[in-house]
Structure 1
C-alpha cells in the first residue's frame, strides 16, 4: 500500500512558499511533488484540499510575486470587484512600476506603467487598481467591445461613474490611452445587465445604428407590461437577448408572454441568440436596420 503523502498541520488549508516550507523542515522537495500539494506559481503551493479561485491566485501574487507598488489590474481587478468571472487557471493581470525589473512569469500577465495617487486601493488585503484606473487600463489593453463589457459592469455597481471617468481621462490628456477611455465612456451604459447585452449594444452602435435605451420599461395606463433589454422607443423597435434566462423556464414563459403582448401593441421585438451574436451578427444588424427603417428611421448622411 503506497505511503500517504506528508501533510504537516501548519500547511493544511494554506498557501505557502515552497522554499520556506523546505528550509523550515516542514517538507522536502520530493514532498512538494506529491499529490498533497498543488503548484500555483513558481515556488508557490496550495494545499490540494483547498478550493483555489482566481481571487486566491490574485492574493498569492500580490503577497509573494510582485514588487512593492504593484497592484492586481485589468480583468483580474474587475473580477475582484465582482465584474466578470475568471477561471482559476487564467493568468493574473498585474500592474507593476516602470522601475521594477519584473519579467514574464508563468500564470502572470505583467504590465509596466506609472500610477497616480489614488490609482491603487486595498480590497480585502489585496492591492488593486481603483475602479476608475481599471477602466483606463482595460480601455487601453482590450478591444473596445470587451473594454466596455468591463466598464459597463463597474458602472452598474456604482464603483465609478461616467463623469468621473471623463474627468480622469481629460486630466491625463496627451498620455497614452486617454482618448481610448473617452471613446469607451461615450459608448458605456450602466443599464446593461449582462456582458452579452453590452456586446450586442456596442456592436449595434458601432455598426452605425442609433444608440438604444437599456432596460426600457413599457407601461400601459401606468401598468407594467415589459422591460426590454434594448429599445428605440420612438420607433417601437426592441432587441431582446435570449440567454440562459437564469435557468428559470417559468421566467422564460412570463417574458415571452409580455413580449407577445408588445407585438400586439405594435412593437417590433427582435430576438438575438448567443449563436447569432457569434456567427451571424451582420445578418442581425441588417434585420434591426430594416425594422427601424420601416418605422421611419432615416440614417444621417
Structure 2
C-alpha cells in the first residue's frame, strides 16, 4: 500500500524556507519531493493544497530570497499596491540596487537601477516601490501601450494621482527615461475601467485618431440611456470592448438591449472583441475611422 506523504501540522497551509524546516527536523530533503509540497522558488516550498497567487510569490520572494537593496517593483508592485495582478506563474519583478549583486534567480525578473528612500514603501512589511515610482518604472520597462494601461488602472483606483506623476516628472528632468515617462503621462486617462479598454484607446490614438472620451454617459431628455467605453460625443460615435464577461448570456443580452437604444438615438456603436484586437486591428481601425469620417461629412453637408 502506498504511503501517504507526511505533512507536519506546523507546515499545513504554509509557505516556508526549505533549509529552515530541514534544520528543525520537520521534513527531510526527500520528503520535500513528495506530492504534499510544491516548489515556489529555489529553497522555497508551499503546501501543495495552498493556492499560489502572484501576491503569494511576491511575499515569499521578499521574505526568504531578497538581500538588502531589493524592492518589489513593476507589474508585481502594481499588484501589491491594489491594481491588476499578473498570473500566478508570471515572474516576480524586482528592483535591485547595483551594489546588491543579486540574481539571476528562476522565477524573478530583475531590474538593476538606483532608487531613493522616497521611492519605497512597505506593504505587509514587504519593500515595494511607491505608486509614483512604479509608474516611472512601468514607463521605462514596458511598451507605451502596456505602460499606459497599468498607469490608467492605478489612477482609476485612486492609488496615485496625475498631479503626483506630473510633479515626479519635473523632479526627474534631465534623467534617462524622462521622455518616455512624459509620453506615457500624455496618454493616461483615469476614466478607463479595464486594461483592454486602455490598450484599445492608446492604439487608436497612436494610429492618429482623435482622443476619445472614456466611459461616456449618454442621456436622452436628461435621463440615463447608457454608458459606453469610448466615445466621440460630438460625432455620436461609440466603441464598446466586448471582453470575456460576455460569456455570460444574460449580461450579453442586457448589453445589446442597452446599445440598441443608442442606435435609435442616432449613435453609431462599433464593437471590438479581444480576438479582433489581436488578429484584425487594422480592420478595426479602418471601421472606426470610416465611422468618424462619415459623421464629419454628415455634419458639414
Do they superpose with TM above 0.5?
Answer: yes
| Residue in 2 that maps onto 1:93 | 93
CA distance in 2 between partners of 1:81 and 1:246 (Å): 28
- CA deviations 1:143-188 (Å, max 9, x no partner) are 0011111111100111111121111122111222221111111101
Give the equivalent residue in structure 2 for 1:181. 181
Q: Deviations over 1:244-276 (max 9, x none)?
A: 346543332232222222222211111111111
Moved over 4 A (4+): none
Structure 1 residues 197 and 42 mapped into 2: Cα distance closer, same or farther (>3 Å)? same
Match in the other structure for 2:197: 197
Q: Which residue of 1 aligns with 2:272?
A: 272
Distance, in Å, in 2 between the alignment partners of 1:37 and 1:56 is 15
RMSD: 1.5
> SS at 1:118's partner residue?
helix
More helix by share: 2
In the other structure, the counterpart of 2:17 is 17
Q: Residues 132 and 165 of structure 2 are in contact (CA less than 8 Å); yes or no, is this contact kept in structure 1?
A: yes
Give the Cα–Cα distance (whole angstroms) in 1 for the partners of residues 258 and 33 of structure 2: 58
Q: Secondary structure at the match of 1:103?
A: coil
CA change 1:4–1:259 in 2 (3 A) is closer
Q: Tell me the distance in 2 between the aligned counterparts of 1:56 and 1:91.
A: 12
Report if aligned partners of 1:5, 1:35 keep a CA contact under 8 Å in 2.
yes
Aligned residues: 297
- Which residue in 2 is equivalent to 1:3? 3
Matches within 5 A, 1:57-206: 57-206=57-206
Offset, 1:9: 2.2
Q: Which runs of 5+ in 1 are unaligned?
A: none
CA distance in 2, matches of 1:190, 1:234: 21
Structure 2: runs of 5 or more not aligned: none
Equivalent residue for 2:26? 26
